[in-house]
Amino acid sequence: MKKKKLFTHEPPPVANLTEANVLIRELWEKLREYEDRLATSSRHSSRSPSSDTPEAKAERKKLKRLVVEIRLALNQVTQDTNAR
């Protein structure tokens, strides 16, 4: 079975450290937002698991994938910045 690619396109290019820092901040804010939303599921709160709708479960799965993608993008940006 082929593994699905996480990224559909390359990360945006950055010309200098300032642009890289702006991109990192944007990704970091999105990451925090998604992790906060994940934390509100029944798995990480006092809510019962039966309170999660199928839509909520699908959203949680999608958010987990986005968190992984953002973390990988942050790693890529910081590696590219360190290489310069």
- The total number of structural domains that make up the chain: 1
Residue 6 per-residue DSSP state: S
**pTM for this model (two decimals):** 0.51
In a domain, 12, yes or no: no
Listed as own residue / partner, the contacts of 27-32 with beta carbons closer than 8 Å and 24 or more positions apart are 27/70, 27/73, 27/74, 27/77, 28/74, 30/66, 30/70, 31/67, 31/70, 31/71, 31/74
How many Cβ atoms from other residues are within 10 Å of residue 30's Cβ?
16
In a domain, 11, yes or no: no
**Which tokens go with 27?**
């990704």
**Which tokens go with 57?**
């479960």
- The tens place of each residue's pLDDT in the chain, 84 residues long, gives 555 666 567 777 888 889 888 888 888 888 888 888 777 766 656 666 677 788 878 888 888 888 888 888 888 777 766 665
Q: What range defines the domain where residue 60 resides?
A: 17-83
In a domain, 2, yes or no: no
